[in-house]
Amino acid sequence: MFLSRAKLIRLVAFDVDGVMTDGGLFLSDSGEEFKRFNSLDGHGIKMLRASGVEVAIITGRTSRCVERRAQNLGIAHVYQGVERKLEAMVDLLGKLQLSRDAAAYMGDDVVDLCVMRHVGLAITVPESPQLVQAHSHYMTKRSGGYGAVREVCELIMSAQGTLDAQLAPYLK
């Protein structure tokens, strides 16, 4: 079921905390927020974009480091401080003129369920609550912030037959 859904995907949107990071929040005394991102995940996103799949971030928190990470990875669609994530996804699908079956969303908590239940491919991480796992089409083997995003990127490219082309330059 996962592979047949993954073949249709033209957009993948990611939550940040617990998906692109391990969910931990580092706050300085001055209130500055720090997050740890995984470089393997970042390269997976770059390859997925190069294969023709749009990438977005939809997150409830607002953080300058997320903005910087998105810029570094070439992610043009960034929705931060979003209380109604489904509205952001519907807006994005409209802008990109895509059906909901062509979209995937990767989240890790109950606040993500509204989007996960709306898209063609719902993905979560092993640390997510049981309810979120029950509404997912796929649960990664890797944890959030530790390669889960890369795993998903490679699985989608594999399902679409684009992974080998993305890896070929590194095998010369």
* CA–CA distance, 14 with 29 (Å, rounded to integer): 29
Q: What's the length of the chain?
A: 172
Torsion angle of C-alpha atoms 20, 25, 26, 31, degrees rounded to 10: 120
Q: Reading across the β-sheet that carries 103-106, which strands appear in turn?
A: 77-79, 54-58, 11-14, 103-106, 121-124, 138-139
CB atoms within 10 A of CB 14: 25
Torsional class of 23: left (φ above 0), alpha (ψ -120 to 50), beta (otherwise):
left
Which residues fall in the annotated binding site for substrate? Answer: 17
Q: Which residues line the annotated binding site for Mg(2+)?
A: 15, 108
Residues making up the annotated binding site are 15, 17, 108
DSSP 100: G
Nearest to 9 by CA among 145, 155, 165, 126: 155
